[in-house]
Structure 1
Amino acid sequence: MRNCHDTRNYIDMNKQLLLCLLHVLVLSGCQHKTPDTSRISQQINAYEPDWSSLRKHQSPEWLDGMKFGMYFHWGPATVIGADQSMTRLEAIEQWKAEEFSAEAWVDLIQASGAQFGGPVAWHGCGLLNWDSDITEWNSTEKGPKKDIYGSLATELRKRNMPVISSFHTGRFYDRMWGKISKSNTTYLSPTEDHSTYATRNGGRMSNVIFDAWYARITEAITKYQPDMIWFDTGFGGTVGPELRKQLYKGRLLQDSLVRIGGLSEEYQQRLISFYFNKGIEWNKEVEVFYKSHDIPPGIGMRDIENGNLVGLQYDPWIADIDMSHHYDWSPTWFYNPKNPIKDANMLVDMLVDMTSKNGRMLLNVPPLADGSFHEDVTKELYAMGDWLELNGEAIYGTIPWTFYGEGPTEVTLPGHHGQGKNRGQNIPRYTSKDIRFTQKGKILYAILLEWPGQQAHIKTLGTEGKLHPNTIRNVRLLGSEAPISWEHTPGALVVNLPAQKPCDFAQVIRIERN
């Protein structure tokens, strides 16, 4: 899907030429593409590394319609999942990725109905999943000897799909960093413990590590020009205190010392301003996803890790959801045969619920160590794709309605990890009375999370409710050619459904309004 450029602000040609000239002068002769008129004011006011400047950033308009993306936890930890006696260094040697094919992966992304995708570019150790000029500890020189990030980004762009890349660097002093850079004499042996770097800066993390982190991330951004990047908990470190009940919605609750790890604000601001300014250089809108309160609100989009939220949210958000249940934690997110795969019915219900609440889902799909996918994974993804082919108009490009839904079932453990704890027992199991709403233009979609049988009674849509009398023009069931009758009563919109349901789960009633 191509990015949509904001064309709301038109200016006359003379003013455009003047602003372009000022742009060139301000940036001291830097080479840029001729900007489109809607981005000129932003280009002149390039982002500075401070929160006030970064808050001027706006989420891309094209992202508003993106509701379903896919990424892949894949690396040495996948090998360890099959043989937990291995060390990480041994796992790198055994990770050959014989069956990896960027074309096949993007085929799967499209078959599942996802709108965007990309790799986990860096996770949990010093090995980078791209062709790095900074360190030999990368996937082109170690392990698979393949540019995973680069090949996926290239293939996604061939198909006009936005690219997301994620960076999971929670333990900056971990093993296997190799040289901090190829030109730097500082060397971190992969066989030694580097935890001393955690206290070399007045008791906090050494800037040597932060500088190496910054160099790697900016290299990945420059090489592959991602449309979206997101940072795991190591970026700002607020998830831990939040889960320990020390922080609640940005407020300190306890008097005890609150230990917040991750990067200093200086490096956060430098990195985000670098990325946003690169977006200006590339003449495209970009976005950052972040966890909890890692950065001030309004700068990027908040991500909920393997969780969901209660109620309709005022700001757009995203949840990264693991396709696997978390039965065994060594490892999670990477393929682990001990962790069963969530079925398509559950995943579609999650996607529908999040979309109705102003959210979107980034689904983690865990490949096998060789780069292929277990049949349990592909079976459920193809089923999701079949559902979206039939019902995708109720998801893609929609916005929330004034009510996100009706019915008795709601998320009981909201927030980070809420969908992963207790072997998934906290994931809602919806009933025939649970309905979620989305809308697009004059069309309102009522998504029935379980088949109600002969009739659907949608109480929110009664003439005494939100939809006044004579505001409904037509009602039909997506995927069904059978004629249906309906009645708009004071207490509900009553829809008489056909005997045959059009798909196995989550039926969509399409309501055309005046």
Structure 2
Amino acid sequence: MTREEYLKEIEKVNEAGTYKEDWGSLSEHETPKWFRDAKFGIFIHYGVYSVPAYGNEWYSRNMYNKNNREFKHHIETYGPQSEFGYKDFIPMFKAENFDAHRWIDTFKKAGAKYVVPVMEHHDGFAMYDTEFNKWNAANMGPKKNIVGMLKEECDKQGLTFCGSSHRAEHYFFMNLGREFDSDVNDDNYRDFYGPAVLCPEWQDELFTNSTENPDSKGPDKDWLEDWTVRTAEIIDRYKPAMLYFDWWIQNKAFKPYLKKICAYYYNRAKEWGREVTICYKHHAFPPDVATFDVERGALSEISPRYWQTDTAIGNRSWCYIQDNEYKSGYKLVCDLIDAVSKNGNFLLNLGPKSDGTFTAEDEKALSEMGAWLSVNGEGIYGSHYWSQYKEGDTVIASGSFNDGGEVDYTASDFRFTYKAGYVYAYWMRPAVQDVKIKAFKTEPIRELLIDSVSLLSTGEELTFERDDEGMTIKASDSFKSDMPLCFKVKLL
């Protein structure tokens, strides 16, 4: 199908479908139950950028940035960009040890319920088989349909397949290669490097503010139509249960096309009989149309609308790099609990090595999360927020890019979830001592009646007393733990 034919097909589907290309119609779409119940997903940044494994997943841009350390590293390691450009990493990207079955099995054992591979990053190399981009993993490099194989294994092993497209930003992403003699200027590779539009708004110190500002310069019509068709192909070929987009789609130029592709996606899903959602950043969509996502961060309170945070096991990069720093399993579990207690999901990224294997640090973090969720997941999966999300003074900083440091929880810090007549009180920093939870104090008239308290991980019934200052749970040797513990509080 040509681009023009696909655009006509999109119009045809939307004209006949329930959802129309306006926010009023699209706001009738509900957040899927599967998504609200799943709580924990795996994000994957895997691509050509995994080969240089230096700096971060923006190597494809930064290697052409004269002011960036990647520029100097590239010349010293591979030679000048006119002789060895980003495209020349593709034959080195072989994924020789990629094993889709093992990947999905590992994620399943970690307790994840959905999987979100980056199907195409800003570098323009698609990790899936596509009619609209010859620069894809099925056609060159690994010569494997990486995304297709992951979807097949998700279906076999019972995890929900989702997908992420960062294609929008490719419009300008490689543009710094225009400033000097590099292969970005070679018209033989224009279909890979893209228009690589060079203008002051997308250079130097103006870059970040300009691309974040929805009123700033946007892409042209040709690019927007191309982006729409490529996204529609992802929807039709791979039927993801969630579509995740990165930041630039909040630009005002995208708005008509966002409505178009959103209606198409929701209408197609209705044809399939499946529930889907879109995850977005900033204000790309109205809050009742899709699911808001906070990158590497958190919200300060319970959100009335369902949301998601995405973070990475590695602090320095979303993709594999040789000198990454990694979060502990304890921190990741605490961040998961915090997100769920505020009516959100936790999407955790890892960056496989170029050969398709995981780092020891990624394996360890996933194993620790899986072990914890195997005995504490009852209060996570399918749960809801309670009347308050926390007790104690320790909070996670609100907003994006606040996920790097360890949070200094104390023995007085708790997070709460609720499900089916039980309140789950997560003790964030356990100690072998009596536990006092003020939220369960006795109150005249409005008193919360409690039948029993048990330790979720062991099933052990616990002795407790209540007064007007709180509920005291008597100490048990089982309280000794390096990970959060959960008290399962049965209501009368």
TM-score bucket (shorter structure): 0.7 to 0.9
In the TM superposition, residue 429 of structure 1 has moved relative to its aligned partner by 2.1
- Seen in structure 2, the aligned counterparts of structure 1 residues 457 and 82 have a Cα distance that, compared at 3 Å, is same
Structure 1 residue aligned with 2:435: 456
Structure 2 residue aligned with 1:253: none
Q: Distance in 2 between matches of 1:69 and 1:314?
A: 21
2:99 corresponds, among 101, 112, 118, to 101
1:496 equivalenced with 2:480 (yes/no): no
Give the secondary-structure state (helix, strand or coil) at the position aligned to 1:98.
Answer: coil
Are the counterparts in 2 of residues 132 and 138 from structure 1 also a CA contact under 8 Å? yes
Q: Which has the higher helix share?
A: 2
2:141 corresponds, among 140, 143, 154, to 143
Structure 2 residue aligned with 1:485: 463
In the TM superposition, residue 500 of structure 1 has moved relative to its aligned partner by 3.1
Q: Which amino acid aligns with 2:313?
A: M
1:436 equivalenced with 2:415 (yes/no): yes
Q: Distance in 2 between matches of 1:192 and 1:72?
A: 24
2:111 corresponds, among 108, 113, 119, to 113
Are the counterparts in 2 of residues 66 and 397 from structure 1 also a CA contact under 8 Å? yes
Q: Distance in 1 between matches of 2:488 and 2:453?
A: 6
In the TM superposition, residue 141 of structure 1 has moved relative to its aligned partner by 1.0
Q: Which amino acid aligns with 1:505?
A: M
1:299 equivalenced with 2:289 (yes/no): yes
1:68 corresponds, among 7, 22, 40, to 40
Q: Which amino acid aligns with 2:47?
A: G
Q: Distance in 1 between matches of 2:301 and 2:246?
A: 24
Structure 2 residue aligned with 1:475: 453
Q: Distance in 1 between matches of 2:278 and 2:298?
A: 19
In the TM superposition, residue 80 of structure 1 has moved relative to its aligned partner by 2.1
Are the counterparts in 1 of residues 31 and 306 from structure 2 also a CA contact under 8 Å? no
- Seen in structure 2, the aligned counterparts of structure 1 residues 380 and 398 have a Cα distance that, compared at 3 Å, is same
Q: Which amino acid aligns with 1:65?
A: D
Structure 1 residue aligned with 2:27: 55
In the TM superposition, residue 160 of structure 1 has moved relative to its aligned partner by 2.5
Give the secondary-structure state (helix, strand or coil) at the position aligned to 2:102.
Answer: helix
Bigger mean CA offset, 335-344 vs 203-212? 203-212
Structure 2 residue aligned with 1:290: 280
In the TM superposition, residue 212 of structure 1 has moved relative to its aligned partner by 1.7
Structure 2 residue aligned with 1:320: 310
Structure 2 residue aligned with 1:194: 196
Structure 1 residue aligned with 2:131: 133
In the TM superposition, residue 501 of structure 1 has moved relative to its aligned partner by 2.9
- Seen in structure 2, the aligned counterparts of structure 1 residues 263 and 172 have a Cα distance that, compared at 3 Å, is farther
Q: Distance in 2 between matches of 1:262 and 1:367?
A: 35
Q: Distance in 1 between matches of 2:217 and 2:283?
A: 23
Q: Distance in 1 between matches of 2:193 and 2:172?
A: 13
- What TM-score does the superposition give when structure 2 sets the normalisation length? 0.82
- Seen in structure 2, the aligned counterparts of structure 1 residues 265 and 135 have a Cα distance that, compared at 3 Å, is same
In the TM superposition, residue 513 of structure 1 has moved relative to its aligned partner by 0.4
1:397-412 matches, cutoff 5 A:
397-412=382-397
Give the secondary-structure state (helix, strand or coil) at the position aligned to 2:369.
Answer: helix
Give the secondary-structure state (helix, strand or coil) at the position aligned to 1:65.
Answer: helix
Q: Distance in 2 between matches of 1:274 and 1:465?
A: 54
1:224 equivalenced with 2:238 (yes/no): yes
2:50 corresponds, among 45, 69, 78, to 78
Give the secondary-structure state (helix, strand or coil) at the position aligned to 2:435.
Answer: strand
- Seen in structure 2, the aligned counterparts of structure 1 residues 357 and 204 have a Cα distance that, compared at 3 Å, is closer
In the TM superposition, residue 175 of structure 1 has moved relative to its aligned partner by 4.7
In the TM superposition, residue 502 of structure 1 has moved relative to its aligned partner by 6.4
Structure 1 residue aligned with 2:229: 215
Q: Distance in 2 between matches of 1:213 and 1:219?
A: 10
Structure 2 residue aligned with 1:329: none
Are the counterparts in 1 of residues 430 and 485 from structure 2 also a CA contact under 8 Å? yes
In the TM superposition, residue 365 of structure 1 has moved relative to its aligned partner by 1.1
Structure 1 residue aligned with 2:171: 172
Give the secondary-structure state (helix, strand or coil) at the position aligned to 1:171.
Answer: helix
- Seen in structure 2, the aligned counterparts of structure 1 residues 460 and 149 have a Cα distance that, compared at 3 Å, is same
1:227-258 deviations in Å (ceiling 9; x for gaps): 1111110221xxxxxxxxxxxxxxxxxxxxxx
Aligned residues: 430
Consecutive unaligned residues in structure 2, runs of 5 or more:
1-8, 56-72, 79-84, 176-186, 202-215
Structure 2 residue aligned with 1:372: 357
1:456-497 deviations in Å (ceiling 9; x for gaps): 10001101399716x111111122355521112221111012
Q: Which amino acid aligns with 1:356?
A: S
Are the counterparts in 1 of residues 228 and 261 from structure 2 also a CA contact under 8 Å? yes
1:201-234 deviations in Å (ceiling 9; x for gaps): x964221112221121111111010111111102
- Seen in structure 2, the aligned counterparts of structure 1 residues 191 and 293 have a Cα distance that, compared at 3 Å, is closer
**Greater RCO structure (CA 8 Å; 6+ sep):** 2
Are the counterparts in 2 of residues 352 and 395 from structure 1 also a CA contact under 8 Å? yes
Q: Distance in 2 between matches of 1:465 and 1:74?
A: 57
In the TM superposition, residue 382 of structure 1 has moved relative to its aligned partner by 0.4
1:292-346 deviations in Å (ceiling 9; x for gaps): 21111200110000111111111110001111112xxxxx210112221111000
Bigger mean CA offset, 99-108 vs 160-169? 160-169
Structure 2 residue aligned with 1:343: 328
Are the counterparts in 1 of residues 50 and 321 from structure 2 also a CA contact under 8 Å? yes
Consecutive unaligned residues in structure 1, runs of 5 or more:
1-26, 32-41, 177-184, 237-260, 327-331
1:60-102 deviations in Å (ceiling 9; x for gaps): 1222211100020011111122595254212222111011111
- Seen in structure 2, the aligned counterparts of structure 1 residues 285 and 279 have a Cα distance that, compared at 3 Å, is same
In the TM superposition, residue 376 of structure 1 has moved relative to its aligned partner by 1.2
In the TM superposition, residue 191 of structure 1 has moved relative to its aligned partner by 6.5
Structure 2 residue aligned with 1:357: 342
1:167-211 deviations in Å (ceiling 9; x for gaps): 1132323459xxxxxxxx998254686315999xx9642211122
Q: Which amino acid aligns with 1:63?
A: F
1:163 corresponds, among 161, 164, 175, to 161
Q: Which amino acid aligns with 1:346?
A: K
Q: Distance in 2 between matches of 1:407 and 1:147?
A: 48
Q: Distance in 2 between matches of 1:394 and 1:373?
A: 29
Are the counterparts in 2 of residues 404 and 437 from structure 1 also a CA contact under 8 Å? yes
Structure 1 residue aligned with 2:402: 418
Percent identical across equivalent pairs? 30
Give the secondary-structure state (helix, strand or coil) at the position aligned to 2:137.
Answer: coil
1:105-125 deviations in Å (ceiling 9; x for gaps): 101111111111131111012
Q: Distance in 2 between matches of 1:76 and 1:466?
A: 63
1:276 equivalenced with 2:266 (yes/no): yes
Q: Distance in 2 between matches of 1:91 and 1:167?
A: 21
1:311 corresponds, among 281, 301, 308, to 301
Structure 2 residue aligned with 1:249: none
- Seen in structure 2, the aligned counterparts of structure 1 residues 393 and 323 have a Cα distance that, compared at 3 Å, is same
